[in-house]
A and B are shown apart, each in its own frame.
Chain A
Amino acid sequence: MAYQLYRNTTLGNSLQESLDELIQTQQITPQLALQVLLQFDKAINTALANRVRNRVNFRGSLNTYRFCDNVWTFVLNDVEFREVTELVKVDKVKIVACDGKSDSSCSAADVLLCFCASALFFF
């Protein structure tokens, strides 16, 4: 069962809106719409995991953090997203992060994030 994390993205939201329209006009059943969304979850997860190769660095100051149900939520301020080609600056960014390996009880990434959150929060 893949993360439903990506449903609230531009792509995921457009899909949901289109599906709602189709349901309104009785062209598909809600059950079918749900299946479509589940398939979307699987597809987007595998696509991001396997077909994306580029790397972006980002740096900003940590405003708040939260860790609950194995999900990290960060709010950063004055962030610079840096890719080889370009630089994007933003005032505020919210990051929602789920565990990379879904079957490990406490992955290394998890531990690293805990430590970083506490360190960054104070400084």
Chain B
Amino acid sequence: EEKNNNHIFKKFKKNPHTMGAMTPGMPLFSPMMPYGSGLTPQPVQNTNSLSILEEQQRQQQAQQQQQQAQQQAQQASSGTSGQTPQLFHSQAVGGSTTTALPGNTPLFTTPLTPMTPITPATPSSETSGIVPQLQYVSHLIPPTPIFVVFSCCKLDLKTIALRARNAEYNPKRFAAVIMRIREPRTTALIFSSGKMVCTGAKSEEQSRLAARKYARVVQKLGFPAKFLDFKIQNMVGSCDVKFPIRLEGLVLTHQQFSSYEPELFPGLIYRMIKPRIVLLIFVSGKVVLTGAKVRGEIYDAFENIYPILKGFRKTT
């Protein structure tokens, strides 16, 4: 941010003391403004650090500042001419506005947390600027983990099914109790060996929390259950590349990784080797990634597949 400051500061230095265009009495948004843009900016009035500050603020809350400035300007119109035009938004000179695009840089420097839209590492997208970055990858939906927990002791499933709420037990069909809780919204399979599988949570933490809740339910029923050995077995993620894909082309060039049988299943099954992830790729551009043990594998797999998919974009 500092560098940006200096950069803009230097531009302001061009016209340090011109008061010509902006006398206090002049209306704020006059058409004579030399540097009009959609943001209704005001031309540079004074070069001082205060203006720079205002510039930064404007970048983030342009509308708000303008409204305030309008009010203050009317108040200050009777003030001295020496009054710094802190009320007037300083503007980078000339066409340089677009390259600075200060409004975009904060986005670029935002640290990448797992939950935010993924930033592409692919070099080819850099040239088109920052805006496409936001477009092409809509949110990579956070992976849903499936948890396995070993809760330590042998369980009597019939007792659990009879006494716990929201449980199903049909031993003829499946040898486990299927229990659900609403918060986090998950389903668990509880086996008589004491092992439990918990699915449906939207994050690793939620999955762990849900598994603990199930263990507590079992505990309250009188079994000496302990929460041991929890381990994420699988994570599933999904996303949208926002363009249609030529699956037939993809299967031809990547046949050692892909299998595509449209009569059996409409998606192409891509088995990536590194990381070891299975992707289901659909004509619509939607992609499902599964088989990950850690969240990073999903992101890596997507980074790997995205340039390939771009190469098979449908143009009609």
Q: Could you tell me which A residues sit within 8 Å of B by CB distance? A: 64-70, 105-106, 114, 117-118, 121-122
Contact = CB atoms under 8 A, between A and B. Distances in A.
A118 B180 contact: yes
B112 to A, nearest CB: 32
B172 A117 contact: no
A67 B161 contact: yes
Contacts of A69: 158
Interface of B: 158, 161-162, 164-170, 172-173, 178, 180, 182, 185, 187
Contacts of B165: 64, 66
Nearest 10 A/B pairs, CB to CB: A67-B168, A68-B161, A64-B165, A68-B169, A68-B162, A64-B166, A121-B180, A122-B185, A65-B166, A66-B167
Max count, chain B CB within 10 A of own CB: residue among A65, A68, A122: A68
B206 to A, nearest CB: 15
A65 B177 CA distance: 13
Contacts of A121: 166, 180, 182
Nearest to B160: A68
A114 B182 contact: no
A66 B168 CA distance: 6
Contacts of B164: 66
Contacts, number: 40
Contact of A66 (B162, B173, B182): B162
Main secondary structure of the interface of A (DSSP, over half): mixed
Nearest to A67: B168
Contact of A114 (B161, B168, B187): B168
A35 to B, nearest CB: 29
Nearest to B161: A68
Contact of A106 (B162, B166, B168, B172): B172
Nearest to A105: B172
Nearest to A106: B173
A117 B182 contact: no
A67 B158 CA distance: 10
A114 B187 CA distance: 14
Contact of A67 (B169, B182, B187): B169
A62 B185 CA distance: 15
B174 to A, nearest CB: 11
A122 to B, nearest CB: 6
Given A118-B180, A121-B180, A122-B180, A70 B167 contact: no
Max count, chain A CB within 10 A of own CB: residue among B164, B168, B169, B178: B168
B71 to A, nearest CB: 49
Contacts of A114: 168, 170
A122 B182 contact: yes
B84 to A, nearest CB: 59
Contacts of B167: 66-68
Nearest to A110: B170
A118 B179 CA distance: 10
Contacts of A118: 168, 178, 180, 187
A112 to B, nearest CB: 14
B161 A66 contact: yes
B186 to A, nearest CB: 10
B168 A117 contact: yes
B158 A68 contact: yes
A20 to B, nearest CB: 27
A82 B190 CA distance: 38
